[in-house]
Structure 1
Amino acid sequence: MRFGILGPLDVRASDGSPLDAGGPRPRALLTALLLDADRTVSVQRLIDGLYGETPPANAANALQSQVSRLRKRLGLEIETGPAGYRLVVDPDSVDVHRFERLAREGGQALGAGDHARAAALLREGLGLWRGPAPHDLPKLDELRLGAVQDRIEADLALGGGAELVAEVRELIARYPLGERLYGLLMRALHAAGRPAEALRVYEEARRVLADELGADPSPELSALHLELLRGREPVRQRGVPAQLTRFVGRAEELARIDALLAGARLVTLTGPGGAGKTRLAVEAGRAHADVCYVELAPLTVGTGIPYAILTALGVREGLRGPQGEEATERLVAALEGRELLLVLDNCEHLVEGAAQVAGLLLGTCSGLRILATSREALGITGEVLCPVPPLAAGPAAQLFRDRAAAVRPGFDGDEHARVAAIDGICAALDGLPLAIELAAARLRTLTVDELAERLGDRFRVLSRGDRTKAPRHRTLRAVVEWSWELLDQEERDLACRLTVFAGGGLSGGATLDAVEAVCGIPYPEDLLASLAEKSFLEASDGRYRMLETIRAFCAEQLPDPLLRELRDAHAAYFLRLAEEAEPRLRGRDQLPWLERLSTERGNLDAALRHCLDAAPSDGLRLMAALSWFWRLHGLASERVDLARELMDAVGPEPPPGLEEEYALCGLNAVMGDGDEARLACADQVLASIDHQLRLPFTVVLWTLAVGPERSRDERVHAQVGSDPWGRALLAVGLGFQEQFAGRPAASEALFAQALAGFRETGDRWGMANSLDQLGMYADWRGERTRALELIDEALHYARELAAPEETSDLLCRRGAVLLRSGAYEEATADFTRAGELARVAGAPEKVAGALWGMGDAARLSGDTARAREHYEAALETSARSWYSVGQTVHIFLGLGRVALAEGRADEADEWFAQARTLSTGAQTHGLEVAQVAEALASRAVEPERAATLLGAASALRGQLIVDDPDVTPVERRIRRMLAPEVYKKAFALGGSLRQDAVRES
């Protein structure tokens, strides 16, 4: 069940149907229990909530009676205990608790710089509100205001501006003392190109605060005012890592980087490991209006670089869009026309691949600049190198003091003797920031003098070593080695074992459970805490990660037999995790398991690569378990090469008992490139399976690869068996088949069946796809309100899945419904938002679809000039991308109708003729062909020809008269007067072969 109390009480059954909670008292009781869902509420609190200050004499008995009636009426589980009553429900099924969670997670994403995720989470949470909060919960209103402000801040970071001004002004009118709101308004006005108004807002805020509170603006608001006075843009960042420590020194280097980027489009920071290139690049990036940070350290092959950049940009493959599209083409589409600084960090191990990607992007995206970090140059024409030197003596000593104070509160490094010792330590470490930080961490247990003495001894020994080694290996390695020797044997053993986990990025490191299972060390919490204290580990959000330099050193200490044993244990653990997650990705736990697998991507890929060499059969199992995750998260194209290697490693025949997994590997290997041999092999293997599949989503990948007609194959029915998710999936495939065959009633029934099945399992992907099609059918019947309800629910699920392309598709669908309702402004807003999402996602074909919708909205509202601009932009975009023939037909028709409205009949006839030529192909839908017929009818000279065309159009639409804005009253009257034999002939033609209907007409 689902419960709503953010507004009028709303109770829904699992199928979405409303339930009646009863009169005022049962509703008040249910609300009180829902506010503390799954927690005990005292009897006294419930009595106070129900009866106020005048409870009846037998209030406890009356309350018990109300609880009993509520149980019976709604079938709720309400536990009775000595402390009170507890409503046993999942808190996430109650909108207020879901809102609180989404607001919290959105705020965390905003703080971490993940603005796209923050905006999506906050918008979803705020969308749960249907009215004011319960009157006795003012804190909820405060939380709602905070979430609104966070969402506006995220939108600003994503490029919003002008459209936010009115919203923030309205909020200020309601909350005139909200200082943060004034700051948001200043930033929105500045982004909208109205800097003078932004500065006036500061004066308004200062006056209001002085009059009402007798206070001055905060330092933050004053600093923003100063930035705007100086003409600086408020900073917008994507994925730039948040830093936990103060940035010390490097003012000259930052100024030099700014100057170089002003004149060059590729600047590469070079220097040894530990020199501080990453931190310097991050700080330099923060000064730019639009910056995207990409961490390349976790990658093992250069082909993964485009995908890493797409991920950092928030771009992913669509669930229903073209599969296997070249990542570089998608990347170019996502960056084209944007002014962006791209920070590529740690390029040295993939320098050739980084150079190729950088060269391509710089050559095609004129507004792009790249700031790279590498131990060697990328070697591209136009590249400017910026060597990162060691820290000078003063900043090096200050860095040491800062880090020392962090590990030893109250540390005083200013006493003369200590100053000299600190200077000596920093000089011995060659001013390398990482070495200084590691040395300062030792002050937890040592004095400065002891540190200096031991470090000096270490470097005197080291100075007699191999002088041909790079400075990093003579200094930084020595510091790590010296820190290593301060560990006890148990700590060293665990540090070595931890190197088996993927390093770098948010998907590196390991959870406590993984450490215990893979490293074979029971209860490792104390050892992990000790390693973190000694700077060998970073602990964050329940994960333990190693700095790459330390990880490389520790890996060298690991003997080969133990390394092989650990890699086997690592692969076995993540295989178990993937197989445990797989069925949950198709049910109610879909979102948390998607997030968990996303967090473990680095480890899952490492496990798969190990299986490729050591245990290909296990590799098949792991790839099979991850295949649906890759599709849902838009990662499938990245794994094509790996799937091919794995299939080659296994050989031409599937291992016994792994036929399904082998075929899935083959389907992953043929994405988008038409590898007929591998496809035929996978098809043959799947065709031989006559029992229920363990992984029913195999049917999706199979039909995507070989065609939707596979859904009618009896073998598929046997393979799906009784699995409810599989049956729902099969209904989707059959629904599309009926739709393509011109049987809308049968198609709609199948999509309704699919929706019921997906609701039963709780799968958001399935519900979104089914609701989309049901919304389309409701729209075709003229049931606009119902269509919007269905589409809005689909949008909710698509946003939960963080699927921007699918969200864009659904917004276009919603806009089309609004067009037919005459709500042109609201439709334009949906199409505009759809275009923005598609543009950010690098999906030009969907941008074109949104532009076509905006053109329709402008034309129908009478603005033919604006309509023509949108249609032409859609046509230009479609010419540069994969694009459906049907949508091109719509654009041609739109341009023809604009020309007709502006009195250019000959031009209109040309556009209609082009639309007619396209519509006779095999890729168009019956509705599109019907619209072509209607357009031709509007230009027909002979009434009988017009009548025949309109009859064919009516037949193609499946009904005689359709409430469509492009069907004129004259056309409707003609249809009513059609001779029965003409209509019957047209209906017969339209019901069998739609293209022939128009061709014969």
Structure 2
Amino acid sequence: MLAVLLLHVNRPVQRESLIEAVWGDPAPAYAVNQLQKYVSALRRILEPGRAARSPSEVLGWSEGGYVLRVGPGGLDLAAFERLVGRGRKALAQGDAQQAGAELHEALSLFSGPALGNVSSAVLDAERDRLAELRTAVLEERIQADLDLGRHGRLVAELRRLVAEFPLRERFAALLMLALYRAGRQGDALNVYHQVRRGLRDDLGVDPGTEVEELHRRILAASPSLSWQGPPPGAEADGSAADGQEPAVPDGTRGVHQLPMDISEFVGREQELRELRELVEAPGTGGAEAGERGVLVAVVEGMAGVGKTRFAVRAAHEFIAQDRFADVQLWADLKGFTPERAPVDPANVLEDFLRLLGVPGDRIPGGVEARAALYRDRLARRRALVVLDDAADEEQVRHLLPGSASCLLLITSRRVLSGLDGAHTIRLDVFSPQEAVELIDRVADRTHDETGSPAAMRVAELSGRLPIAVALAGRRLRTRPAWSMDELADRLETDEKRLAQLTVGRRAVEATFDLSYQWLSPAQQRAFTLLAAHPGPDCTADSAAALLGTGRGEAEDLLESLLDEHLLQQHVAGRYRYHDLLRLYARDRAADAGSLEQRTAAVRQLVRWYCAGAETARLSLEPWWHRGPAGDGALGNGVLSEEHPEVPHLADDADSALKWLEEERANLLAVSREAAQHEWRGCTWRLATAAHAFLGLRSYGTDCMEGLRLGLTAARGADGRARRARTLADIGMVCDSLGRHEEAARRHHAALAVFEETGDRHGAATAHYGLGCAAFGLGRYAESAERHHRALALFEETGDRRGQALVLGNLGLVNWFIHGRYRESEEQHRRALTLSEECGDRRVQAYEFAGLGLAHWFFGNYAECARQHRRALALFEETGDRRGQAIALNGLGLADWHLGRLVRAGEYHQQALTVFREVCDRRGEAVALQCVGYANWATGRYDVGEKRLHETLAVCAQTGNRSTEAWSLASLGHMCLRLQRNDEGQEHLEKALSLSRSLGDRHPEASALVGLALVSLNQGQLSSCEEGARQALALSQSIGNPHNETWAMITLGLACCFGDRPEQGADWHRRAAETGQRTGDLFTESMAVNGIGYACTRLGRYEEAERHLRAALTTRQHIGDRHGEAETLTDLAALMHATGRPDAASAYRELAQAGFAEIGVTGTQDHRVVSSSSAPRRASQGCRWDRGGM
């Protein structure tokens, strides 16, 4: 109401108008009374001292309406309209100074949107009118500022307004004019294109006459657009007014030397922000300087990275923000210009002093005197000095201003570390997104090609180096018939890439030439020769081997090239080229030296890596022996038996692992290089030496490539033994990757050679590999036979480590054959002893894990966890990631039974992640099955079922039939819990058939329990009992208490449903005792719940409630949500039987909510005992599944 009265100040407003404004139409019946209350309240607020019932002097009644009386100057809207009127009049009379002052003051009255906190149809219309008026006044005020020559300081404000009002063309026109007058013609034209594109995209129209005409005049550089200077007494940017002291001496007026900004500038937001923060700190850019010295920022980076463009953009941003507005000086120091020396700083100082108004005859002759006068002329001035392409610190030292109000911005290809107090901004190549944006902007292609995968290819092939990216875009623009894909294809060829990145006289290669020509001969040799290194990076050690120098000299050369930004250091102590610089260096190498010299250098590097890999493997595996250094057939006369020393590689496993990990990519690249040169001896030795590490870290793909190169190198009659060893190594890698059939073929081929040559140790290795492959294929009898043959041969040759490996595998094989679980445990113990004797910590870790699995099977879950923790510690110590995954999975199995269901799931998930990372498909299948079962146990059936189906898919791909049997059994039990009885039966029957064909009795027992539950759900109690007794007998025969407990619980259920609750209670008690003995909280709580249910059927209600509440507590504690809902159902039945209907109803609702939460629907309360105590048939909705792993 107050807002409406203020809009009609000193004029009567009818009651009906106020009611419509406040409540709208139709108004409520109480509107008139409420309006009177509002008036009274307003009068009390506006006139707090007015006596009661006395007439109001401020809000009165006149001519049938309320009048709000406000004196002159009391209403901001009236003041605004008055100031706007005076400003418009002054503008029409050409008095920009007066117009600007009036309009600035008018706009200052706004603190936000008019009528910002009230709303109605009347007020909304008035708000829109005032907003439009305010915007129009803003346009007029900016026009006045432009007439006063304040174009520099208007750019930032206008950019914001154009973004805020994208369809208001007047703001765009004003921005274009401000940019043009600031010397930024390119940016002005870019604004036009952005506006034009936006209008077309949004509205399908072109800009209006004003913008189009201004665009035409900017293109033509119309003199009429230039600022003509302020009228007498007016104030422009940086000039004086009203007799004030000038900001700079007369001679400096107009010293604005910055080059034109460019519209193609993209990215660099972080670096620009870094520079802005530096400048905006107290004491810079005209702020109070305090004790701080001159601000110096050095922009450094490799050739073509965009240092000059960055400096230009940063400088124009500062000017647009009215920083350093007094003086802007620019000098190209030509530090890397071909065929001419860098500019003498004395000459630069002479030019600067002339620009600063010093007559030529008053400029001193000496550089020191010139520098002193230069600092004096810039003292206390807001000056920006840009020194582009500096050669070194000495060239710029005399060009530093002396005042903290100045900014010195230097660009250089070198590291200028000798400038005290300078802040360094290092420019790197573009991000992928920035590079693609620049290509799109320069190439000016259709929307179909912008941001396309082809554009990303061009960006990457250009190394994301700004000059190369821009030239690639211009190449496209000058070749309209080319597609982005065609240019990318042309850039794919290394030999032609630099030639393609050329447009007219501009070329990436020429840019690099400027840096290369200033290198010393030693630097040029190092720069070109290092490009012969086949790997992605090098160290001082490997560079010394390649260059034929000492380590210290090599490091000095590397660091000097790093200072020249011709090399990069992505990790401390490691150096690499930018992709384009590597190509350039190779081109220069072809021009500079002979092929024989480069080949000799690379050969020495290959020797160095060969020695390093062998030394590292001996540190990892002291029992490993190198082969001969290289005879004529293998070495091709290239390698001698002497290898260079490998510096900085300590004789311990940790140092070896670190070196091998850091050099992994280089080792493979060097192997390829050796193979290409047919240095067969070293190719084979590299493959053999690196094999152990690559296998340890599960780098299967790299390991396979290296070994295949070694296999090709080991040809010829005298290379058969090495070929056989390589075949055996390849077979083991295939097995780790789940390619068991291929692994068997490789081992068979190796075995044939070993037997022919009488190599009994090699034959043992091949039999061992064949046993591993057969195990992976589920052929356990064959696997056992092969392992026994390998064991005999290892014993004959005295290889205790080989014996330990075989015994450990036999422990696993016997696990899956006819339930030889005790024999399996004993073999793991023997393997552990042997591995301790020979000092192989990795084999020890695997045997700890094997013993942990045995303890899990026999129900010693705490000991299972302990052994897997020991295994995990050793696996982490030796860097065996696959082993870590095995140990994590074992910890998950132990925790599952110990009632830590959530943590068990986390362990299994971690194991799954690692197995996938190391490409172990067999391990992936096992972990997937465990993840599925862990989700099954906690009631997350949707996730559990998905993971089990994923397990079956992996098993089908890898032939892992044992895990397939386990997964089918788990999936069957899950289906029973979800009341999909027929589907569950199908999965369980498949599991039973498969496990029997494999001789794997553990999943066989689980499948038997599940099928017994199927019979229970179908009401076939005798069939249920028969199946459960089979499962019990089988579990007892193999000594597995877990499935034994499940079988007893199932028998207990069958007895309860068969009207034998006393026997049912006995079976559940036996099951509970077994669960308690083994620490298996999951099955123990299930059995305790069964006791409670049986006691309810027997009428022993107090005992029943005690057991049911104990089961509920445990199930809630361990996170068994399905079990919790079952126990709540049984408590509801107990409450019903004992005449507590309210409690029964409450428990039933909780149970139903619990089942619904985990996705189990349609459950029936089959536990409610009738008054006649007649047993309920299982066919009446029995949803019990007590089966498990």
* TM-score when normalising by structure 1: 0.48
RCO comparison, higher one (Cα < 8 Å, 6+): 1
Question: Which structure has the bigger radius of gyration?
Answer: 2
* TM-score when normalising by structure 2: 0.41
